[in-house]
């Protein structure tokens, strides 16, 4: 490294930091965000949480109801993720450059994935709510659609990373397309894919809360109901049960990941 | 010459006498068990659903009709283009604020959480707190802050900040832990203090990673900000989306708003993918 390279790098860094500072001020101006008032709000908010978000006996009486809704939400996320994974596997095999049947299929599958991934889950749930009504299926479909896009991108990357050498080897032995896919691509990518699926289940339980608030289903709806009636003891209990469920699933998937990867 | 013999216990045969190539493989057992469990839970899930008012025969054609109206005849009716651009800017602004502040906080916390730069008790306790914060859905943080700090962009940014920090601490600390120990050792042996090792050793070798993770988080925070507008009244394009679908039932406006969100999201994704590939090709 000589002096000019160092100088150039220093200049780039200065420009980057200046850019970020300008961007921050611009964002604060557009959103009407007060730096000082937000700093002041933090201690008050912490105090409020410590004094209001306390579980009491009355709230504990709601636990069976909460557990039922939580279970519904967990099941919703698992079902949406698993079924989305099956479709994503198909789309990824079509979309990956290593295993693509032809360019048209590849482009179509990547386009579908990009559309489903980049339209936020919120938009999907509001769109589906209009015709499917207020029930679990709406939440399930909203999660499903968002998951397909994400998992397809992840699976395509997995296939491209894992399968290149073995696809070539199998092709050289005269294996057919389906033999290549079922004997090389899927088995080699499977551990990584399962790991993505587990990650997505965790994410989807959190998103399911959001989707639930919007579509009036599951634990999210329950949270919204008690939140709006200012019953903060139950709100606290619901939050704790969600946290426990997410952490439990995270621990479980970490253990599975340790074995399979 | 030593004869090569297979341990008899390693090879297991099936009843027909073939070598069973799968037995004893813990990986494949766990893998299969996971897949079967997920499959079974998925089937089970459909018995737990609440099907109130679900009429698939009516809903599917209706959805198709709605989708057609949304995506083929999009139109803004309750606000103009200038207002729409302003709302998108607000959503981007909320995302940017949460990301920038999140990255700054996460940088310092990640230094504490990285095992090679910190002491075990500190790194353990930061990890536990971060895991807890990450487990609470963002929308709950925003809603809780909305009561505690009052509605407005402050509550939204603070709520989003919690999750961004938790996410980035995990990513950053993993990047820090991958710094070549030789670099740290070389710096320490010259008598460099802790801050000097961070500034001259850790930061230069991880900076591009940190940048790419931060931008990825910005991409996520944009869609989170849309969600917060819709679900927590944080304003921006998400709120307009919620109003268009929940109050006016204006499908064409929903379509137009969705197109705008989609356009921004795709631009962000392309940019983030480019940044990522530049980081990896620089290695």
- Structure-token pair, residue B2: 């030593």
Residue of chain B minimizing CA distance to A40: B149
pLDDT tens digit at each of 261 positions of chain A: 577 887 887 888 888 889 889 888 888 888 878 777 777 777 877 888 788 777 777 778 888 888 988 988 899 999 999 999 999 999 998 888 877 778 888 888 888 888 888 888 888 888 888 878 788 888 888 999 989 999 998 998 888 887 677 888 888 888 888 888 888 888 888 888 999 999 999 889 888 888 888 888 888 888 888 888 888 888 889 988 998 998 999 889 888 888 887
The DSSP secondary structure of B70-85, one letter per residue, reads HHHS----SS-HHHHH
Statement: residue B231 has pLDDT above 90: no
CB atoms A209 and B139 under 8 Å: yes
Contact status of B34 with chain A (Cβ, < 8 Å): yes
Contact status of B153 with chain A (Cβ, < 8 Å): yes
Fold category of B78-282 in CATH = MetI-like fold (1.10.3720)
Domain ranges of chain B: 78-282
Q: Which residues 242-271 of B are in CB contact (within 8 Å) with A?
A: 242, 245-246, 249, 251, 254, 257-258, 261-262, 265-266, 269
**Residue A176 Cα, gap to closest chain B Cα (Å):** 23
Separation of alpha carbons B100 and B98, rounded Å = 6
Residue B160's CB: how many other CB atoms inside 10 A?
30
CB atoms B41 and A44 under 8 Å: no
pLDDT digits (tens, 9 = 90+) for B150-188: 767 888 888 889 889 999 999 999 889 888 888 888 888
**pLDDT classification of B282: cutoffs 50, 70, 90:** low
Strand partners, B13: B19
Cβ-count burial B111-128 (b if 16+ within 10 Å, e if not) = bbbbeebbeeeebeebbe
Give the architecture-level CATH label for domain A57-260.
Answer: Orthogonal Bundle (1.10)
**Distances in whole angstroms, Cα of residue A26 to Cα of each of A22, B96, B144, B261, B271:** 6, 10, 26, 20, 20
* ipTM above threshold 0.95: no
- Give the closest residue to B270 by CA, choosing from A196, A99, A118, A157: A118
- Give the closest residue to B133 by CA, choosing from A200, A41, A49: A49
Contact status of B42 with chain A (Cβ, < 8 Å): yes
Contact status of B57 with chain A (Cβ, < 8 Å): no
Separation of alpha carbons B257 and A243, rounded Å = 33
């Amino acid at each position: 490294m000589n002096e000019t390279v160092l100088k150039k790098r220093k200049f780039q860094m200065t420009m980057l930091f200046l850019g970020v500072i300008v961007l921050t001020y611009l964002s604060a101006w557009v959103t009407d965000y007060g730096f000082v008032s937000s700093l002041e709000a933090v201690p008050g908010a912490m105090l409020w949480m410590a004094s209001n978000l306390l579980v009491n006996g009355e709230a504990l009486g709601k636990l069976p109801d909460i557990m039922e809704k939580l279970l519904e939400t967990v099941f919703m996320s698992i079902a949406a993720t698993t079924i989305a994974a099956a479709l994503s596997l198909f789309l990824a095999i079509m979309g990956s450059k290593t295993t693509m049947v032809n360019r048209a299929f590849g482009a179509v599958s990547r386009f579908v994935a990009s559309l489903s991934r980049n339209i936020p889950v919120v938009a999907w749930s509001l769109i589906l709510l209009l015709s499917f009504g207020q029930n679990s299926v709406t939440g399930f479909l909203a999660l499903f659609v968002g998951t397909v896009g994400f998992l397809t991108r992840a699976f395509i990357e997995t296939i491209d990373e894992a399968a290149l050498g073995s696809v070539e080897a199998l092709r050289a032995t005269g294996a057919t397309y389906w033999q290549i896919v079922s004997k090389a691509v899927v088995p080699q990518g499977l551990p990584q894919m399962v790991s993505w699926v587990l990650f997505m289940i965790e994410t989807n339980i959190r998103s399911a809360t959001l989707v639930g608030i919007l579509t009036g289903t599951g634990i999210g709806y329950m949270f919204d109901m008690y939140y709006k009636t200012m019953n903060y003891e139950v709100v606290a209990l619901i939050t704790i049960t969600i946290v426990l469920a997410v952490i439990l699933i995270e621990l479980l998937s970490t253990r599975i990941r340790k074995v399979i990867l | 010459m030593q004869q090569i013999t297979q341990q008899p216990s390693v090879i297991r045969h099936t009843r027909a006498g073939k070598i069973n190539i799968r037995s004893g493989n813990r990986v494949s057992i766990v893998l299969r068990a996971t897949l079967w469990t997920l499959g079974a839970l998925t089937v089970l899930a459909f018995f737990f659903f609440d099907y109130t008012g679900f009429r698939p025969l009516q809903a599917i054609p209706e959805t198709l009709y709605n989708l057609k109206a949304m995506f083929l005849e999009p139109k803004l009716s309750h606000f103009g283009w200038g207002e729409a651009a302003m709302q998108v800017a607000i959503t981007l602004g909320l995302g940017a604020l949460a990301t920038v502040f999140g990255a700054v906080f996460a940088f310092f916390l990640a230094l504490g959480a990285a095992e090679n730069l910190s002491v075990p008790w500190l790194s353990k306790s930061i990890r536990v707190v971060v895991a807890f914060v990450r487990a609470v859905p963002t929308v709950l943080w925003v809603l809780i802050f909305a009561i505690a700090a009052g509605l407005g962009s402050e509550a939204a940014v603070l709520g989003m900040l919690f999750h961004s920090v938790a996410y980035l601490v995990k990513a950053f600390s993993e990047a820090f832990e991958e710094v070549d120990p030789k670099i740290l050792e070389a710096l320490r042996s010259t008598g460099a203090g802790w801050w000097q090792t961070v500034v001259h050793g850790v930061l230069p070798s991880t900076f591009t990673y940190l940048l790419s993770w931060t931008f990825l988080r910005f991409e996520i925070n944009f869609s989170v900000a849309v969600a917060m507008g819709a679900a927590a009244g944080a304003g921006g394009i998400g709120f307009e989306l919620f109003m268009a679908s929940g109050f006016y039932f204006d499908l064409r406006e929903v379509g137009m708003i969705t197109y705008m969100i989609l356009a921004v999201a795709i631009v962000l994704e392309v940019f983030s993918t480019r940044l990522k590939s530049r980081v990896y090709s620089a290695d």
